[in-house]
Structure 1
């Protein structure tokens, strides 16, 4: 664990973090960039909303880091690209990490880098490519003191699920892939939510002393999102990584404020919902 950069990711009072992921354009899927076409404006909106971190790619990180001042969100840098989200899938699947990704992260003043560990049924070659990338990134990350966030992503079969960004919430599969990420040297885990959140403590337990941040997945209503957030925090998660549930929300600042209240102030769901209504009014 490299603590110094993580001091800028986790809130000093709560020890938790909200990372807003806006790295979707990296994956070459048209539907993923709906609502985030103007990245300069998206980043400005997020900076004003004030999450703990924003997750961006090497080509878009400049929009965050060019903003002056020390109070802007920290940067989490996405380091790998794959073609696993379109439907139908391409005839040949790939996953590659950015050349010199850790040096790029240092130059961009990132607090962590993020890489996938994907389990896609029928395509073990993608998982193999992810593992090779993680091992290379782990070696360089240790040299430069850069925390490595691994994203164990248990995916549904693309054909039967209708394609796209669909996760398999089977707790047994999630626990197994999270443990493999820990064994590969993760400093942070960005994990799927399980179908039954009452079981989510098992994910935290298998991660041991590696902090778990929970992915948001597809767009849901505000109450569902906040209830899920409270549930995973109660299970021991150290934070959340939400994308479309923030950037595609009609009031990104309001939902960010509500999530931060839950994370850092211990607000309940109803209290957080009221704050969204007040902001939106």
Structure 2
């Protein structure tokens, strides 16, 4: 079944998308909500900046969908809650999906839903929970024509702490992306590889499933834009950036720069010039 909702996610001219993730409050980690304490103001700022989509939880999605008019960004709805980002870690670890998430997404007029596929060393039970969630969501997603974005995240223990961080190992990312494809993803949201020149292998593993590249932790503007340019050149269909946008001193400026790279093929220098203010 064709997922017509994706026509509201991907730009008609470039065929690409910029989704700004603002679902961090779902994960019960205080550092994640820095810069988004006032969600009403955050969503208003993002709507004015005009990315292709904003990724929100079921509790915050009405802030976007109550905005009148046809031109607001599309809604990507987060459908699961996990406690794997805390430092130190809680026990036991869990990843739980909202049972009626797809029907909620339909009522909220979402363009897609997002669910994790977590690979944590020493905790295969968390990946099992994710797979069960994906299979349950997949059934309803097919029934209602709702695109399912799977987020395969390969993680590793942070040195000197009990928490987890991103593992950029190419082989591990490729393997988990391939599993996401096998599970029936309509979209895949994947981390960049440590060696960014390897990213075409991630795109290859996804086959004809569009890959949107995850932003992860904060980096400087030029690094972010260069990385964006590199993954797009290797076949990525867009980006899903959170903290690099919402914790930026000028969110509207960095969105303008990213949109220029994603949709217009702008150079990094030209994109940096669009940011203005503090870099």
Q: TM-score, normalised by structure 2?
A: 0.97
Q: 2:3, 2:146 within 8 Å by CA — same for their partners in 1? A: no
How far did 1:280 drift? 6.9
Equivalences for residues 127-206 of structure 1 within 5 A: 127-158=127-158, 160=159, 162-164=161-163, 166-206=165-205
- Aligned partners of 2:89 and 2:163 also within 8 Å: no
Matched-pair contact (CA < 8 Å) for 1:2–1:187: no
For residues 107-165 of structure 1, the C-alpha deviation after alignment (integer angstroms, 9 at most, x for no partner) is 0000000000000100001000000000000000000000000000001125x363556
Relative to structure 1, the CA distance from residue 69 to residue 164 in structure 2 (aligned partners, 3 Å threshold; closer, same or farther) is farther
- Find the residue that maps to 2:81 and give its secondary structure: strand
For residues 195-253 of structure 1, the C-alpha deviation after alignment (integer angstroms, 9 at most, x for no partner) is 00101000001110000000001000000000000000001000000000000000000
SS of the residue 2:165 aligns to: coil
Check if 1:253 corresponds to 2:235. Answer: no
Runs of 5+ unmatched residues, structure 1: none
- Contact 1:2–1:147, Cα closer than 8 Å, also in 2: no
Contact 1:254/1:280 (<8 A) preserved = no
How far did residue 2 of structure 1 move?
3.2
Would you say the 8 A contact 1:255–1:276 is kept in 2?
Answer: yes
In the alignment, which residue of structure 2 is the partner of 1:88?
A: 88
Shift of 1:87: 1.4
1:6 partnered with 2:9: no
The number of aligned residues is 279
Indicate whether 1:111 and 2:137 are aligned: no
Query: Cα RMSD (Å) of the superposition?
Result: 1.3
Please tell me whether residue 230 in structure 1 is matched to residue 229 in structure 2: yes
For structure 2, the residue ranges without an aligned partner over 5 or more in a row are none
Q: TM-score, normalised by structure 1?
A: 0.97
- Could you tell me how far apart the structure 2 residues matched to 1:62 and 1:196 are? 39
